[in-house]
Amino acid sequence: MAFSFLTQELAIDLGTANTVVFVNDKKVIDEPSIVAIDKLTGKTVAVGKKAKEMHERTSPSIRTVRPLKDGVIADFDAAEQMIRGFVKMINSKRSIFSPSLKMIVCIPSGSTEVEKRAVRDASEHSGGRDVQMIFEPMAAALGIGLDVTAPSGNMIVDIGGGTTEIAVISLGGIVADESIKVAGDVFTDEIRQYMRQQYNIRIGEITAEQIKMEVGAAVSELEEQVDPFTTTGPNIMTTLPVEATVTYQEIAHCLDKSLAKIESSMITVLEHTPPELYSDIVKKGIYLTGGGALLRGLDSRLSKKLNIPVHVAEDPLRAVARGTCIALKNPSFPFLMR
């Protein structure tokens, strides 16, 4: 049982941008996937929100690392330290006994065997005794309440921080899928480049993310108006402070090419979908999950492009974590991997 002295069960959505951990149906961790490490000692200084506050503001003796890139582990040691830090946060108020940890961790559907092993090893080195993995689109489908074992087609598009996972699911398996490295991080980088080219202003990753959340849009015409966002930063040429005001229409234009790549991948997956499942998808629609699903007007843009209804899932940011939690309670699911 979870929280017993013997075993603790963790459902982990190890995302490029955020890590969400559920213990016993309860969300206990929802923090940025970042760790601050002391360069001299190699010890963890902070993880999650505290480390994010230090990001791009650190002294030379501390480095902040985002261990995951494009949905997979790019820095193994930092990933291990980050997971260990989160586990410590969960158990900080508990007994002096260290429980045996059973974990289910999400991975992108396009993960190679090497990438799967990296996730498994990092989880085991962080204290996991029994580690299973689940593909993100499958977890997202479970998380939004779809019956993934039914003989019926469901299409999921999970736009995370590092990857966009597109999959058609039926009978507990993934029938057709694509995993592309165009997602939240790419959107953030494009906003930074746009501000640099258009306004000659240099902004950091945190400010670019803020712009994405405040005025991010997928279409240049929204039903609800969004107030422009004003930011301050150094001029590229003079380094003197300048102010720039950006509108949602500009961000829609700035993200257009990346969103077109997602549309193209969705069409490719639909091309590889058997006709019977295709007709199921047309009837039910396509489900959007992940942080990218919150981009204003994205559902209407995709629906117009594909001529298929597109639905934004309820609380899309946590859909994958909720699905992982459901999988944890059903260890006999055929799609779980060791």
State the average pLDDT over residues 315-319. Answer: 89
Does 324 lie in the same domain as 308?
A: no
Helices and strands, number each (H, E), in the chain = 11, 17
Percent of the chain with pLDDT over 90: 49
Same domain? 304 vs 235: yes
The pLDDT of residue 244 is: 93
The model's pLDDT over 165-184, given as tens digits with 9 standing for 90+, comes to: 999 999 989 999 999 999 99
Beta strands across the sheet bearing 7-14:
26-32, 18-23, 7-14, 100-107, 128-135
If you average pLDDT over residues 275-293, what whole number do you get?
94
Residue 230 has pLDDT above 80, yes or no: yes
Do 171 and 66 reside in the same domain of the chain?
no
CATH code for the domain of 227: 3.30.420.40
User: What is the 3 state secondary structure string of 75-97?
Assistant: CHHHHHHHHHHHHHHHHCCCCCC
Question: Does 262 lie in the same domain as 228?
Answer: yes
Residue 335 forms part of a structural domain? no
Residue 95 lies in a domain: yes
Note down the domain range covering 99: 7-139+320-329
43 and 23, same structural domain?
Answer: yes
Does residue 2 belong to any structural domain of this protein? no
* Whether residue 246 sits in one domain with residue 104: no
Model confidence at 122, pLDDT cuts 50, 70, 90, reads confident
Q: 288 near 282, Cβ under 8 Å?
A: no
Domain match, 158 and 299 both: yes
Tokens of 27: 């969300």
**3-class secondary structure per residue, 236-266:** CCCCCEEEEEECHHHHHHHCHHHHHHHHHHH
For residue 1, what pLDDT band results from cuts at 50, 70 and 90? very low
Q: Which of 71-85, 94-108, 194-208 has the lowest mean pLDDT?
A: 94-108
Task: Name the domain count of the chain.
Answer: 2
Q: Is 250 contained in some domain?
A: yes
Handedness of CA 131, 135, 141, 143 (dihedral sign): positive
**Same domain? 121 vs 167:** no
- Range 298-308 average pLDDT: 94
pLDDT category, 98, cuts 50, 70, 90?
low
Instruction: Give the torsion through C-alpha atoms of 332, 329, 176, 301, to 10 deg.
Output: 170
pLDDT tens column, 200-220: 999 998 899 999 999 999 999
In a domain, 259, yes or no: yes
Residue 246 banded pLDDT, cuts 50, 70, 90 = very high
Q: Is the pLDDT of residue 77 over 90?
A: no
Same domain flag for 170 and 287: yes
Reported as a single tens digit per residue, the pLDDT across 105-114 is 888 887 888 8
pLDDT reading at 159 higher than 90:
yes
Q: Give CA–CA dist 170/277, Å, rounded.
A: 8
Task: Mark 245-277 as b/e (b = at least 16 C-beta within 10 Å).
Answer: ebbbbbbbebbeebbeebeebbeebbeebeeeb
For 36, residues 6+ apart whose C-beta sits below 8 A from its C-beta are 44, 45, 46, 47, 50, 51, 54, 58, 62, 63, 64, 65
What's the alpha-carbon Rg for the chain, to the nearest Å?
A: 21
Asked if residue 201 and residue 280 are part of one domain, the reply reads yes
Q: What is the mean pLDDT of the chain?
A: 88
- Tell whether 102 is covered by a domain: yes
Distance CA 139, CA 157 (A): 12
Residue 336, in any domain of the structure: no
Q: Does residue 16 sit in the same domain as residue 40?
A: yes
pLDDT beyond 90 at 22? no
Asked if residue 69 is part of any domain, the answer here is yes
Question: Is 309 found in the same domain as 253?
Answer: yes
φ, ψ (nearest 5 deg) of residue 274: -55, 145
Q: Which amino acid is at 334?
A: P
What φ, ψ does residue 169 adopt, rounded to 5°?
-115, 135
Task: Give the DSSP H/E element, type plus range, for residue 299.
Answer: helix 298-306
